[in-house]
Amino acid sequence: MMILPVIMAGGTGSRLWPMSRELYPKQFLRLHGELSMLQETVTRLNGINAREPLVICNEQHRFLVAEQLRQIKQLSHNIILEPVGRNTAPAIALAALSAVANGDDPLLLVLAADHVIEDTQAFQAAVMQATDYAFNNKLVTFGIVPTGPETGYGYIQRGESLSLDGQGSYKVQRFVEKPDSDTALKYITSGEYYWNSGMFMFRASEYLNELRKFRPDILSACETAIEKPEADVEQDFIRVKKEAFLACPDESVDYAVMEKTTEAVVVPLDAGWNDVGSWSALWEVNAKDENENALTGDIFLHKTTNCYINTDEKLIAAVGVDNLVIINTKDAVLVIDKSKVQDVKKVVEYLKQNSRTEYRRHRESYRPWGRCDSIVSEARYNINRITVKPGGMFSLQMHHHRAEHWVVLTGTARVTLEDKSYLLTENQSTFIPIGSVHMLENPGKIPLELLEIQSGSYLGDDDIVRLKDHYGLF
């Protein structure tokens, strides 16, 4: 039976600020390896008899997900958009309903998009072990073999041993909440407990049957929400009905189904798993130099030990320091003791309270047509470095309060200005007066890069009057 990976990519966590932000959270970052965490999650399945993944995310991240799937050739109308977050039970229900609507009943392999798994071979072996149980209508959860009395995870207590595969799988005795340190130590000492990974495998139909049994209200709301999904301009996305999904209860799959079913099975997973929930966790999983420093970027060190340092562009020089996390992005720098990384949330709280944009977005933002780096932002002028991918284009638009000057750095631009259309190449420029209807597109085969100088009395995005949009944004 074919496996359908269902990848949960809807999180907006801030524990890895300033790299992870609300509009660009950690699952889209390259934090461990050459690919983003989402891409690593997908490519980790290479070699398993699996379909292209079904990815579940929110509206704000849809173009990020589409672009990252396109880069690894896994994009095929396989992104479900949640209009609001309703936790994992409804999200998985949407995936299951989408699957059975096509007349199939695949094994759903539910994965988080933001976990590190060091040993791909061990992970794949556990997945294949789980397929036997899922095929026989069991609901499988993967229990992480614990490496210590961790208080930050929920636990799964194993029950009766199963002999179907002879590899040490068990019935689930119970799920337990995050324990205190003494209780966690007792769990580890007993040898009967695993960390709850939040990864699952089951038949689509079996999950829906159990959901109907225990939480029919969730199932009913999801059935209404995904019935006859709304058409999408780009055909990459499956949109659900917002009002129906708003009525859906907010519930995790653990509470809604796994803790109630009598068909739960736990397959142990010992594959170097880490949910990288903090900068110290990233230090743990990354390669280190002879002084136990994990480094990414342009860095000079002298008498520096036990540090995690990650820099986007600038040189970082660290002299005579120990046990620090130093993170540099284009618009923020974080310096924090590695033992205090949980307090990053204090920074994010401050930014939100003071209406600062740094908690929400990076200086560089991604758009359906490419990306925009806001180099200078002043009261009466902005300077942006814009990259438009081949075939990408702005909406047909105009502005009431600002003029724009475009200077092409590389590539070829086709500019539409009122009733004229013309090409610009490197070192050529054009001026867009206030109130003029205009559009920019890249007709070439290589990325188009240009400088955009905006000037005027008001420069907000709500001064963009879109007359024609190509991406279904408005």
pLDDT of residue 468: 84
User: Model pTM greater than 0.75?
Assistant: yes
pLDDT tens track for 118-172: 999 999 999 999 999 999 999 999 999 999 998 889 999 999 988 655 568 999 9
pLDDT bucket at 336, cuts 50 / 70 / 90: very high
Q: Which of 234-243, 321-330, 360-369, 460-469 has the highest mean pLDDT?
A: 321-330
Of 349, 373, 399, which marks where a domain is finished? Answer: 349
pLDDT of residue 162: 87
- Separation of first and last alpha carbons in the chain: 40
Q: Which residues contact 351 (CB under 8 A, 6 or more apart)?
A: 358, 359
Residues 445 and 369 in one domain: yes
C-alpha–C-alpha distance, residues 471 and 468, integer Å: 10
The tokens of 61 are what? Answer: 């991240």
Domain encompassing residue 413: 364-468
292 part of a folded domain: yes
pLDDT tens track for 381-420: 999 999 999 999 999 999 999 999 999 999 999 999 999 9
Residues 126 and 254 in one domain: yes
How many H helices and E strands in the chain? 11, 29
115 part of a folded domain: yes
pLDDT tens track for 430-441: 999 999 999 999
61 part of a folded domain: yes
pLDDT of residue 227: 84
Inform me whether the pLDDT recorded for 205 exceeds 80: yes
C-alpha–C-alpha distance, residues 78 and 467, integer Å: 29
Residue 51 gets which letter from DSSP?
-
- Percent of the chain past pLDDT 70, that is, above it, reads 96
Residues 305 and 384 in one domain: no
C-alpha–C-alpha distance, residues 431 and 406, integer Å: 6
Give the CATH number of the domain where residue 133 resides.
Answer: 3.90.550.10
355 part of a folded domain: no
Inform me whether the pLDDT recorded for 174 exceeds 90: yes
Overall average pLDDT of the 277-305 stretch: 95
Overall average pLDDT of the 2-10 stretch: 94
Overall average pLDDT of the 266-288 stretch: 93
